[in-house]
Amino acid sequence: MERIERIREFDGWLERYTHDSAVCNCRMTFSVYLPPQAEAAAVPTVYFLSGLTCTDDNVRVKAGAQRYAAELGLALVMPDTSPRGEQVADAPDRYDLGQGAGFYVNAAREPWAAHYRMFDYVNLELPALVERELPVIPGRRSITGHSMGGHGALISALKNPGLYRSVSAFAPICNPVESGWGRGCFAAYLGDDPASWKDWDATELIRAGAEPMPLFIDQGTDDEFLLEGHLRPEALSQACKERGIPLILRMQPDYDHSYHFIATFIGEHLAYHARALTARS
């Protein structure tokens, strides 16, 4: 684990690291914001998973999250969205497949399976590394994300009961097996059997009996990808209703899919996670 950047922000430190990933079989990059409280004691952690075409840089520059993390005493861990490098498979003519579009699944089909194991990276390898090397409280984690990363946050929490204290999402891809984005990537990464894709779909996991967990989602009503049918929050809402799973789904009037939307509500999401992370277990 090599630190390649360190910037003072809100009396804490924004840091960037690279490391050799055994899971993804390549060099990976992630950013961490350590609040001022981390200089005196270990702090809880919120993971933020970014969306299609992004790296770890987008959220740390555009979301305005560090200010709230400093006030709340939360570390922010911001992974990349896929493995990268010359040896890593890619689809350079597509923005929604390959590097920048890992979809937070464990790929089963070549050439993707050699490196694209983002689910295990985000939920196993990266937390173990962060909790070993940085001043964060082991096991005291929550998770959120945007778009493809919102999908990643939801499936990470639903497929790992007890791993996260809370989960939220901004404009997540809620039902990727019925989304053009999801179908295109899942066929490439997972194979031609749509039944196998359901294990990586939040709506389908809930329908199949995933352990109940409160979900908190913000969605803009003027989001172009909502209007094009890529996000499908209504499917997730119906599945939660059928199972009696608590869902806060806030349809925010006039907001789009951009980081302007995320920056508006990131403070409320971090406060939501702070309450869960500081509650007595």
Q: Please tell me whether the peptide bond between 35 and the residue prior to it is cis, using omega within 30 degrees of 0.
A: no
Q: What is the pLDDT of residue 52?
A: 94
- Catalytic residues, which ones? 147, 223, 257
One-letter amino acid of 103 = F
Q: What is the pLDDT of residue 227?
A: 92
Helix (H) or strand (E) holding 45: strand 43-49
Yes or no: say if 44 and 278 are a contact pair by the CB < 8 Å rule: yes
State the alpha helices, DSSP H only, in 19-114.
56-62, 65-72
Domains and CATH numbers, the chain: 2-278 (3.40.50.1820)
Q: What is the pLDDT of residue 180?
A: 87
One-letter amino acid of 150 = G
Q: What is the pLDDT of residue 281?
A: 60
C-alpha–C-alpha distance, residues 66 and 139, integer Å: 21
Q: What is the pLDDT of residue 210?
A: 94
Q: What is the pLDDT of residues 57-104, one digit of tens each?
A: 999 999 999 999 999 999 999 999 999 999 999 999 999 999 999 999
State the alpha helices, DSSP H only, in 73-223.
118-120, 126-133, 148-159, 180-190, 194-197, 202-207
* Cβ density class 178-198: b for 16+ within 10 Å, e for less: bbebbebbbebbbeeeeeebb
Q: What is the pLDDT of residue 279?
A: 84
Helix/strand number for the chain, H first, E second = 11, 9
Q: Tell me 37's DSSP state.
A: G
- Closest alpha carbon to 11 in 63, 76, 69, 61: 69
Q: What is the pLDDT of residue 82?
A: 97
pTM: 0.97
- Closest alpha carbon to 127 in 201, 222, 228, 23: 23
Percent of the chain with pLDDT over 90: 96
Q: What is the pLDDT of residue 178?
A: 94
Q: Is 125 exposed, middle or buried (0-12, 13-18, 19+ CB in 10 A)?
A: middle
pLDDT-flagged residues of the chain (< 70): 281
